[in-house]
Structure 1
Amino acid sequence: MASVKDVARRAGVSVATVSRVLNDSASVTAATRARVLEAVAELGYRRNAVARSLRTDATRTLGLVIGDILNPFFTELARAVEDEARALGYSVVIGNADERPDRQDHYVRTLLEQRVDGLLLCPTAEITPLVRDTVRDGLPLVFLDRTLPGLDVPTVRAEGAAAIAALVRHLRDLGHRRIAFISGPALLSTGRERTEAFAAAMEACGLPVPGGHLEAGDFQAASGRSATARLLDLPEAPEVIVAGDNLMALGALDEIRARGLRIPRDVALACYDDLPWFTHLDPPVTAIAQPVQELGRRAVRVLAERIEDRPVESVVLPSRLVVRRSCGEPAGTGERDAGEREGSVRA
């Protein structure tokens, strides 16, 4: 099925010009209009109903659909997006998908019908027909934090493999050998990537991962707590539990405290995703910090370039390990960054 990009290439114009022609804008010459309509006819291009509602008149409004507004990561991300958008003269309308494809599509459809100039999407695991159509029609869209296979969409995300490797080496150097991991959903790119990075880091350090030491969670606190309970009930419980995100770490912390266990004396705890108040816990929690504010800022700038019909590239930013005292670090250990820092990578 032909896309608006195909029409633009055939007619030798920009995607924005095609949109103006299809929306009967007066700001297109008769010759250009004829060339675009001829390309439409030759390619048999048809617009979907949602795309048709997106007018070319700029509204100076951006849409943002996030995974879970109650997750502190997404809360901070939304704030960064809003701040950067405001600095560029845009307003932001936010939708909370609650990690459900149907709710995601509801907000995508609503935002397009409200004629936002562009859309930032933290996609759920499922590639829905609406998302596929939105990509096909060349509407200004940027994926944020997560990727979807097979879709040609610029993405702004964090790379955590190097930080996870640094964490595993740090735990090994502290003398830990039995290290368990609570993963996120395998259907989400972030869940897969963190699990694969953990397994690779353990192998590189010569540390085995028994089958019972790899638990699957869903990036929610309840799954972190239930996974921790199963880990602690093993005949040979892990010395360290690494949670794949901050909410699962909170669930793990609840289960550890409920059993009257002490961190790190009875079991150590670390997690992917840092929280500002991790420093106020006793002991402070060792965590991998994502560049959340920079992710939000860069995503808005990439989207603004797409709206202006400029060429853009995906952006990958480095995460970093922040060492505190929840894994058995010496009592005098102050907060510090550890491990290699990757430079920003464009893919």
Structure 2
Amino acid sequence: MSIKDVAAEAGVSVATVSRALNDRPSVSPEARARVLAAVEALGYRPNVVARSLRTDQTRTLGLVISDVLNPYFTELARSVEEQARELGYSVIIGNADERPELQDHHIRTLLDRRIDGLLVSPADGGSPLVYDAACAGGPMVFVDRWIPDLDVPVIRADGRAAVRDLVAHLYRLGHRRLAIIAGPATTTTGRERIDAFRAALATYGLACPDAYVEHGDFQAVSGRRATERFLAMPEPPEVIFAADNLMALGALDAIRAQGLRVPDDIALAAFDDIPWFVHTDPPITAIAQPTGELGRAAVHALVDRIEGRSPQSVTLQARLIVRRSCGEAPTGQRSDT
């Protein structure tokens, strides 16, 4: 079924059908009603590819996320898709699986598909393709992670205050030997979280020796291996802070595999709260990012760029959710068990 068939059914010109379907004001109400009735009767669907060639727009956004198996990024992708749909856009998602080369493959593929704009959570800080795409001037927005020296809007959460709140909470509970499983130093979030942790420890006069710092890759296996090394030390830490939810689950597996209990034998906390943490035994203290808000803000910023407006970077605040994995919370402190 073509637009010519709709025009014949409605008794109007092809140009009138086109104007009516594009909601142009030059079409009379009577003609518009006849066109819509013909569309309904014939079951006509506009050719999206042909329309994109005429308008130079596909009404499609690309989203390249770091790891679709990470519940945080799954929720982020869902909020992006929902907000884009509300604004009349579709979303094509590429999963980088924390691999820069796979990230670049998805970016190249999406650009070849003539998407209108691109949302990226970079898997590392030095992808030449991301640099090239940004410098080419096409609409792009970073979400969650970013590349600092690129002039691209960034939609992110600031977790530094929440990390300070976490260390304060641990200090009140009497913990003094605190270890961290940090993320990759090549990512902005990996660097920011360990820097915030060290700064918070310094506030209380606590050391952060190299022995209490392990670097993972935001995957559960790396959290398990780092925890095994911590537990094998002559003086293990009293607390393990995993800078990512999957690394925290790996840490929990390693603790249980050695017959130890949280928090009786060792405390555990995580960055990036996920629904599973409420159901673990015990529920895990975690820093929660406003994931849904991040996704919605990222879409609005990208659509602003696509439609010729000047978006601003947005920084939202993460928050600490205290549960039982670090010990009983002091009276009156927020808890979510």
TM-score, normalised via structure 1 length: 0.79
Q: Counterparts of 2:314 and 2:323 in 1: how far apart (Å)?
A: 29
Partner letter of residue 312 of structure 2? E
Task: Extract unaligned runs of 5+ from structure 2.
Answer: 1-52
Q: Alpha carbons of 1:149 and 1:330: their partners in 2 closer, same or farther (altered >3 Å)?
A: closer
Equivalent residues of 2:282, 2:325 under 8 A apart: yes
8 Å Cα contact 1:324-1:333 kept in structure 2: no
State the alpha-carbon separation in 1 of the partners of residues 191 and 264 from structure 2. Answer: 30
Deviations 1:267-312 (A, max 9, x none): 0100101011211122111000011111000000000000011111
| 2:286 and 2:320 in contact (8 A); partners too | yes
2:319: which partner in 1? 320
Q: Where do residues 135-214 of structure 1 align in structure 2 (5 Å cutoff)? A: 135-214=134-213
Letter in 2 for 1:243: A
Q: Which amino acid aligns with 2:102?
A: R
The separation in 1 between residues aligned to 2:156 and 2:257, in whole angstroms, is 35
Structure 2 match to 1:305: 304
2:173–2:329 CA contact under 8 A, matched in 1: no
Residue pairs, 1:265-344, within 5 angstroms? 265-330=264-329, 336=335
Q: For 1:108-119, what aligned pairs fall within 5 Å after superposition?
A: 108-119=107-118
Whether the aligned pair in 2 keeps the contact of 1:325 and 1:333 (CA below 8 Å) is no
Rounded to whole Å, the distance in 2 between the matches of 1:229 and 1:212 is 13
Distance 2:99 2:224 in 1: 22
CA distance in 1 between partners of 2:112 and 2:198 (Å): 44
1:243 matched to which residue of 2?
Answer: 242
Structure 1 residue 209, shift from structure 2 partner: 1.5
Q: Kindly state the Cα deviation for residue 149 of structure 1 after the two structures are TM-superposed.
A: 2.7
Change (3 A) 1:66 1:111: same
How far did residue 245 of structure 1 move? 0.3
Do 2:62 and 2:119's aligned partners in 1 also have CA atoms closer than 8 Å?
A: yes
Paired with 2:156 and 2:271, the residues of 1 have a C-alpha distance of 14
Tell me how far 1:137 sits from its aligned partner.
Answer: 1.5
**Structure 1 residue 335: deviation in Å?**
6.0
- RMSD (CA atoms): 1.9
Q: Which moved more, 1:127-136 or 1:310-319?
A: 127-136
| Secondary structure, aligned partner of 1:177 | coil
1:123-164 deviation line (CA, Å, top 9, x unaligned): 121433322221111100001111113211101011000000
In 2, the alpha carbon distance for the partners of 1:152 and 1:146 equals: 14
Q: Which residue does the alignment assign to 1:340? A: none
Residue 204 of structure 1 aligns to which amino acid in structure 2? Answer: T
Separation (CA, whole Å) in 2 of partners of 1:131 and 1:274? 28
Kindly report which structure 2 residues correspond to 1:250-269, keeping only aligned pairs within 5 A, or say none.
Answer: 250-269=249-268
Structure 2 SS opposite 1:181: strand
Conservation of the 8 A alpha-carbon contact between 1:78 and 1:296: yes
Q: Deviations over 1:92-128 (max 9, x none)?
A: 0000111222211111111111111111011121433
Contact kept? 2:322, 2:329, Cα under 8 Å:
no
Quick check: 1:55–1:115 contact (8 Å CA) kept in 2?
no
Equivalent residue of 2:61, what SS? strand
Unaligned ranges ≥5, structure 1: 1-53, 338-347
**CA shift for structure 1 position 73:** 0.8
> Which residue identity lines up with residue 154 of structure 2 in the other structure?
T
Query: Looking at CA atoms only, which structure, 1 or 2, has the larger radius of gyration?
Result: 2
Question: What TM-score does the superposition give when structure 2 sets the normalisation length?
Answer: 0.81
Partner of 1:67: 66
Q: Percent identity?
A: 63
Between stretches 84-93 and 126-135, larger displacement belongs to 126-135
Where in structure 2 are the equivalents of 1:21-36 lying within 5 Å? none
Kindly indicate whether residue 248 of structure 2 is the aligned counterpart of residue 216 of structure 1.
no
Are the structure 2 counterparts of residues 55 and 263 from structure 1 closer, same or farther at C-alpha, using a change threshold of 3 Å?
A: farther
Query: Aligned-pair distance for 1:179?
Result: 0.7
CA distance in 2, matches of 1:282, 1:136: 48
In structure 1, what is the Cα distance between the partners aligned to 2:220 and 2:127?
Answer: 27
